[in-house]
Amino acid sequence: MHVPLTLLASTALLAGCATSGDRIAHVEAVMRDYAGNVPGASVLVMHDGRPVVRRGFGRADLEAGAAATPSTNYRLASVSKQFTAAAILLLAEDGRLDLDDPVRTWLPSLPAAVEPATIRHLLTHTSGLVDYEDVIPGSMTWQLRDADVLKLLESQDRTYFAPGSDYRYSNSGYALLALIVERASGRDYPGFLRERIFLPLGMANTLAYVREGPPVPHRAWGYSLVDGQWQRTDQSQTSAVLGDGGIYSSIDDLARWDAALYDDRLLSDASRALAFAPATPTDDPAVEYGYGWRISGETLWHSGETMGFRNVLVRWPQRRLTVVVLTNRNHPEPYAMALEIARPWLQD
């Protein structure tokens, strides 16, 4: 894995790193390239139930000069998948669906090749569904929604492999899960998340964003480096597909989400155990997958990347430690930065 020079430069700070001031200096060194008039980042470190680091770096909006803060909302991209999985688990607890229901029970317009696939296969990326982004026709020029994903898959009477026999990361599967949430609950997906997850946890500024719905408060705009200049690249054709990556949130709201993952205030002990248990190996021998979570050793984590955003949330539950790095730029991936930020606490 490529390690940015800023991470290497911060290593010298770790010798005898014991005080909170040393640790803050370490985080600032890791995030040095995000400071100033550039697309920025918000960084959270939760330890023993407390936010020991809660910082913004750089800009949420270059054109307006707005600073990134702890309340800045970023498009989470695939970090959203843990919320989609939680919504399914809540409906299973309600008795509205079963994880072993065939997907076609809820979405009968899917072709016969999908018949063996279950909700559990969608959760674990073992359905073999065709990647919808690979079959978007040139005539489909509008911004896609989850319902458009279903329409695309209706024409694909094939799977990459027999459902349950292999792993292939599937945005298609999580878009279908959002539709299943709607059909099982009788609520639109953004409304279900708001009523059953975000508001009960105090995540008042988190939302699954659609253009006709409420605006994103404290919004970060996405940017890409093009010919040495930062250009706004905030939305793509697939940015409005919600189940696989359409949630906006902040580190302040994600601190509340993290707290809820330690007890039964949202999900039961049994549901959380299912979400966090390795259900399948992946294409990386160091990583397994649960329900909306990657699992590497003692860590639970998920990254997210989309046009103009790169994010990661990493948890060490046994150590009561979580690091969240949300960024509004197209590079680099922040997973290595999150691990480096965590190092002083892991050395305790």
If pLDDT is split at 50, 70 and 90, which confidence band does 211 have?
Answer: confident
At residue 17, the pLDDT reads 45
pLDDT at 240 over 80: yes
pLDDT at 8 over 60: no
Q: Which residues of 53-75 are buried (b: 16+ CB within 10 A; e: fewer)?
A: bbbbbbbbbbeeebebbbebbbb
Closest to 135 measured CA to CA, from 160, 115, 163, 108: 160
- Give burial (CB, 10 Å; 0-12/13-18/19+) of 123: buried
Q: What is the DSSP string of 215-273?
A: PPTTBPPPEEEETTEEEE----TTTT--TTT-EEE-HHHHHHHHHHTTSSSSS-HHHHH
For 299, residues 6+ apart whose C-beta sits below 8 A from its C-beta are 314, 315, 316
What are the structure tokens assigned to 308, written together? 């103009």
pLDDT at 2 over 70: no
pLDDT at 7 over 60: no
Residue-averaged pLDDT of the chain: 94
Task: Using alpha carbons, list the distances in angstroms from residue 229 to 33, 61, 145, 304.
Answer: 15, 15, 31, 23
| Average pLDDT, integer, range 322-346 | 97
DSSP 197: I
| Average pLDDT, integer, range 234-259 | 95
The structural domain count of the chain equals 1
At residue 9, the pLDDT reads 42
pTM value? 0.94
At residue 19, the pLDDT reads 81
Q: Which helix H or strand E contains 55, and what residues bound it?
A: strand 50-57
Question: Residue 28 belongs to what domain range?
Answer: 5-346
pLDDT tens readout for residues 111-125 = 999 999 999 999 999
At residue 216, the pLDDT reads 97
pLDDT at 13 over 80: no
Q: What is the DSSP string of 153-175?
A: HHT----SS-TTS-----HHHHH
Q: What is the DSSP string of 282-348?
A: -SSTT-EE-SS-EEETTEEEEEEEETTEEEEEEEEGGGTEEEEEEESBS---SHHHHHHHHHHHHT-
- CATH for 132: 3.40.710.10
Q: Are 322 and 44 in contact (CB under 8 A)?
A: yes
Helices (H) and strands (E) in the chain, counts: 11, 15
Q: Are 294 and 301 in contact (CB under 8 A)?
A: yes
Phi, psi of 268 (to 5 degrees): -70, 165
At residue 18, the pLDDT reads 53
If pLDDT is split at 50, 70 and 90, which confidence band does 183 have?
Answer: very high
With a pLDDT cut of 90, the percent of the chain lying above it is 91
CA dist 93 and 270 (Å) reads 10
At residue 293, the pLDDT reads 98
At residue 5, the pLDDT reads 39
pLDDT at 6 over 70: no
pLDDT at 86 over 60: yes
132 conformational bin, left if phi > 0, alpha if psi -120 to 50, beta if neither: alpha
pLDDT tens readout for residues 269-304 = 999 999 999 999 999 999 999 999 999 999 999 999
Q: Poorest-confidence range of 85-94, 137-146, 183-192, 217-226?
A: 137-146
pLDDT tens readout for residues 24-79 = 999 999 999 999 999 999 999 999 999 999 999 999 999 999 999 999 999 999 99
| Average pLDDT, integer, range 200-207 | 98
At residue 238, the pLDDT reads 87
What are the structure tokens assigned to 50, written together? 């407390």
